Amino acid sequence: MYATKVKRMKWAYLYWFASVIDAIEMIFIVASSWLLFKRHDVSDVVKEGYRVIASQFTKFSYFELKKATSNFKEELGKGASEAVFKSVLADERVVAVKILGDVHRLLVYEYVENQSLDQHLFSRNVIGWKERFKVALGTAKGLAYLHHECLEWVIHCDVKPENILLDGEFEPKILDFGLAKLSQRDRKNPEFSVSEEQKLVKGNRLSNLVLEDGEEQETELTKFLRDIKRKFKSEEVTGIEDGVDTRLSGEFNRIQVEKMNEIGISCLEEDKNRRPTMDSIVQALLECEEGARVQSNSDPHSNI
């Protein structure tokens, strides 16, 4: 009788142990299925989001755009492998049409009255300091959106005056994402990328200084900015003039020039951990804008 009782207890423990194992397996299966379903569900949501966005684009035939451009009559600009023409659509909207190479592939853009930034920085079309600061702030906001607010990080890799378009109010629009790269959100910040990316976003011109060698150009740009910063700190009068387009005839805001010079130097830091994020740059420029506004109100004779 005692042996029978012991035997029953052994079987009871065995059943209990097997039940626990089954329960653990069931929990594992349910949890795994939930995680897989959630990941699949998120992926589907992202894909659906992209599909909805893509569906909002209007498609035009080649013949529609050929007619709208009057057989590509009015050329707005030309690059190495594309040309841009002014176009008037059937609903009388004015747009810009870009032809990619010599094939019948065309892109339709919003028409901007003031063309690209390089047309104002490197030609006789001079814009004032207020407009220049507005362009800098707007461009920084655009890059901050690409870096911090998109579903995936977007690293433009080709930010330069030629790729900044200006509308009638000198609001900038970032153009040409041909070299852009996507990066997952769980990776490092775009601003902390390796130096290879740094040389792609620094631009190709500095006033009338044009150098062929990329490394030499970066050195000269850094040297130029550091020299101007030193002159600002030492209160050398010529320091301000050296760092600002002489065509402005001294009409600029010192606070904003100093801050933009400081930001320019920090963006060229070799140590990636010392480079600012685009969010912090936008915040610095906004604070600088407010400071300049206060200064202007308190001193009507200050340069603005």
What whole-number distance in Å separates Cα of residue 69 and Cα of residue 87? 4
3-state secondary structure 193-219: CCHHHHHHHCCCCECCECCCCHHHHHH
The answer to whether the beta carbons of residues 136 and 159 sit under 8 Å apart is: no
Report d(CA 119, CA 205) in Å as an integer: 13
Phi and psi, residue 107, nearest 5°? -120, 140
Catalytic annotation present for 158: yes
User: One of 41, 91, 102, 158 is an active-site residue; which one?
Assistant: 158
Active site residues: 158
